[in-house]
Structures are given as C-alpha cells and as structure tokens.
Structure 1
C-alpha cells in the first residue's frame, strides 16, 4: 500500500486528467448547443476536478511534512481523496444523464443526499485536520521543514 504522499500525487493526476477531459466535454457542449452553454454539472465537474487536483497536491505536501504515523496519514488521505473522487463521479453522472440542475433537490432520496453531504463535510474537514495537525506538530518540534527539496 502506498504512503499518503504518493496516493495524493496519483489522485492529483487522475483528478487533473478528469478535469481536462471534462473540459473537452464542456467545450463540445458549448459548441454544439443552441444555448452556447454546457450542462451545469459538466461545468461544475470540470472546475471541481481541476481544483481537487491542486488540493490533492497540497495534501501531498502536508503528508510529506507531517511526522504522524504512516497508517494515520494514509487513512486521513484516503478518506479525503475518496470523497473528492465521489464528488467528481457524481458530477459526471449528473452531467451525463442531464437529470438535474441541482442535485440537492432530487425527486427522491433527499435523506441520502443529506447524509452523504454531512459525511462529506465531516470526512474532508476531519481528514484535512489530521494532516494539518501533523504539519503543525512537525514544524513546532523542528522535525518538519517547509523548504522543499
């Protein structure tokens, strides 16, 4: 199993590739639709994928600096990255199906969306806080460095 840092770097590459491909899809829709606009979830997925790629690289740097146990860093990283990926997949799904303009107002399954969004917030924030704590702990102990190499 990979350590937290390489997991984040690989995820960043996958997310960035998704963003680039969704950008192609987005501009195809802009070109071929009479409205001159892509479906909102194609647009959201394109932007989110690119942003998640850079967020994953930030988390990779945090994992590099952190001095926490490998299992804890990996667990926090995996949790955050899985939720980033699930968000991207949901945007692709809604963009492909063109089934909604607002995934928070589904015809059914409102409770499932609410539970997912609460868990997403808790896991993403919690996972980040674990990695950020590791960075702060390393910097305060003098073990970590922010000067890259």
Structure 2
C-alpha cells in the first residue's frame, strides 16, 4: 500500500477518525446504559456507535480500491472524499439526535431536530444526496478497478 498516495492517505486517516469515533461513542453508549433504568442507550447513541465502527471499515474498502484504481490522483481523491463526507454527515446527525434525544426515527414526520421541525424536502434531499455521494464515490473507485481485471 502506498501511503504517499493522497487518496489512500485520506481513506486511512478517515478510517482512523471513524474508528476513534466508534470507540468514543461506545464509551458514551455504555455510560448511558449504566445510567438507564431500562439498561438501554438512546437509539441514536447506539446508531452513532455502530455506524462509526462500520464506516471505519468502509474507509478501508475505499482505501484498497483507491490504491488499485487506474484513475488519476484527483479522480481517486474525489472517489474517497465524497463518500467519507457523507459518512461523516450521517454520523454527525446520529450524534446530534443522540445528544438531543429528540427522536428514535429521524424519518418519522414531523422531522425534528431538537425543538425545530425540519421540512420534509430537506430530509429527503439530504438522503438523496447521501445516496448519490456514497454510491457515486465508490462507483468511481470501483470503475477504476475494473480495467485492472481486463
């Protein structure tokens, strides 16, 4: 693995950040469990913990595909940065909902963020952007790998 490759380095750094976030949110989760009469953490505290760990390993997949892609450095950086941005966006929303304890389903109407109500188009739009960003970013890297098979 070439750590001097900027796309690879960004993916590895992102993996480390998400893994650390998973560990820290795990401490938060178990603290909530210990303090809860029901011995349960709030839904989005649990989700933030699991998603952070999952995304840390997803970043290693991005790393590997970026390391074997035939595309230019710039294209591979886009292929890594875009999904990582949306991974971070997702975890951030989970952490915010976990702190606020305002919902156990961010898609349930009305869409709430603390005491604010979010418009449906904003929630739907952000989800569609997340889908396009994550699938599209990995699609770039995957398409850069396929020619290596041929």
Query: Would you say same fold, with TM above 0.5?
Result: yes
Q: Does 1:37 align with 2:47?
A: no
Mapping for residues 89-128 of structure 1, pairs under 5 Å: 89-105=92-108, 106-107=111-112, 108-109=117-118, 110-128=120-138
Give distance in 2, aligned partners of 1:63 and 1:129. 11
Q: CA deviation at 1:138?
A: 2.3
Gaps of 5+ in 2: none
CA offset digits 1:16-44 (Å, max 9, x no partner): 00000000000111111001100000000
Give distance in 2, aligned partners of 1:103 and 1:77. 26
> What is the TM-score of this pair, normalised by structure 1?
0.90
Structure 1 runs (4+) greater than 3 angstroms displaced:
none
> Secondary structure in 1 aligned to 2:103?
coil
Gaps of 5+ in 1: 141-149
CA offset digits 1:60-100 (Å, max 9, x no partner): 01000111011111012111100001111111100011111
Alignment root-mean-square deviation, CA: 1.0
Corresponding residue for residue 140 of structure 2: 130
Mapping for residues 65-104 of structure 1, pairs under 5 Å: 65-104=68-107
Q: CA deviation at 1:9?
A: 0.3
